[in-house]
A = this chain, B = another copy of it.
Amino acid sequence: MRILKTSPSEDGFMMPAEFSRHSGCIMIFPHRRDSWQNGAYAARKAFAEVINIISLSEKVTVCARYEDYDSARKMLPERVRVIEMESDDSWARDVAPTFVTNGSEIRGIDWGFNAWGGLHDGLYFPWDKDNKMARKLCDVLDVDVYDKRSFILEGGSIHSDGQGTVLTTEACLLSGGRNPQLTKQQIEQELKNSLGAKKVIWLKSGIYNDETNEHVDNICAFTAPGEVVLAWTDDESDPQYEMSKSCLDILENSTDACGRKIKVHKLPLPKPVTITAEECAGLDDMDGEPTRTPGERLAASYVNFYISNKHIICPQFDDKNDKTALEILAKLFPTRTVVGVYARDILIGGGNIHCITQQIPAI
């Protein structure tokens, strides 16, 4: 594995869209007791369900800590590869490499990771094990890696259409816990250099109370070149309404890198999901403080789906909109089978199905 100090774009590499073909997917076996209730047991079952579906059409590599290897191996299908790797938590989207390609070769980007905000407003400390994963995953996969550790970024805060357009949110990328020493223009340039992009579309915000500082992958995702889904509510009294509306306005007034107007498909949100006292009691404290408080609103959104080679795996919340979300996605992805996975036990950890996956593009 070479550790490269150049940028992908200057080497002719770019980030493909998630709906392009994958050679595999990286995930992490959950374990963190202040993120996942009851010793992560319920989360493991939900992760396993997601892994099971993805592995029907992609080689899934699951990172497990030394002490979790046997449990992971027992819980997961034979066709899944389990590898030993230390981690602080289990959000592959944010700690695994972002993969770029030139059409004949794959390389990884090793961004700096500081637990969604470091000492400014990050979610746990320390985060060194997570921060080391991207490089080690490139080593396991035997692909070269771009050293971008000096730039703080999580994979969940970007989406690429594979044709030069990147989606992100100001709430996250301009937050004080990421790269406050850089201007918006400098951050945009780094995204272009690293992802091989020509244009960055900046949404203002993401999902209400999303503790990642509002990652784009919870509110908006490309479904095809020039087309996105946007998490939506018609309830003007919900703080989410203004947030989604501002995204809609920006998207409807944007063109992508190819000059196309963006077609926006609204994906209804579930009713606000809040954590119960019983669920909170199943979470270990962190530094002596409760991780969550009963009644806290969780950042539930159907947009947090994963596009595998053959499936769309979409979170479900036991909500009346569950079925509607699946129907909308089925129309937008006619060549894939849409599968819902009940994901409350992933949501409690602070993210959802997209957040726990990272695709490896095919070449």
Contact = CB atoms under 8 A, between A and B. Distances in A.
Contact of A139 (B83, B86, B129, B136): B83
B86 A84 contact: yes
B129 A81 contact: no
A342 interface: no
A84 to B, nearest CB: 5
A86 B85 CA distance: 9
B81 A139 contact: yes
Given A2-B78, A66-B86, A78-B2, A73 B140 contact: no
A354 interface: no
Q: Looking at chain A, what size class is its interface with the partner chain?
A: 20 to 34
Interface string A121-144: 000000001001001100110100
A84 B84 contact: yes
A56 interface: no
Contacts of A85: 84
B132 A69 contact: yes
A105 to B, nearest CB: 15
A82 interface: yes
A89 to B, nearest CB: 15
Given A78-B1, A78-B2, A84-B85, A66 B129 contact: yes
A81 B142 CA distance: 7
A140 B83 contact: yes
Nearest to A136: B84
A243 to B, nearest CB: 40
Contact of A1 (B81, B129, B132): B81
Contacts of A78: 1-3
Contacts of A129: 66
B136 A83 contact: yes
Nearest to A140: B83
A68 to B, nearest CB: 12
A312 B70 CA distance: 37
Given A73-B139, A139-B73, A83 B83 contact: yes
Contacts of A142: 59, 81
Contacts of A1: 78, 81-82
A222 B81 CA distance: 35
A69 B136 contact: yes
Nearest to A144: B78
A2 B84 CA distance: 17
13 contacts: A1-B78, A1-B82, A2-B78, A59-B142, A66-B86, A66-B129, A69-B132, A69-B136, A81-B140, A82-B136, A83-B83, A83-B140, A84-B84
Counting from the closest, the 10 A-B pairs by CB-CB distance are: A66-B86, A2-B78, A84-B85, A82-B139, A83-B140, A81-B142, A84-B136, A81-B139, A84-B84, A1-B78
Given A1-B81, A73-B135, A82-B136, 19 more contacts: A1-B82, A59-B142, A66-B86, A66-B129, A69-B132, A70-B132, A73-B139, A81-B139, A81-B140, A81-B142, A82-B139, A83-B83, A83-B84, A83-B136, A83-B139, A84-B84, A84-B85, A84-B86, A140-B140
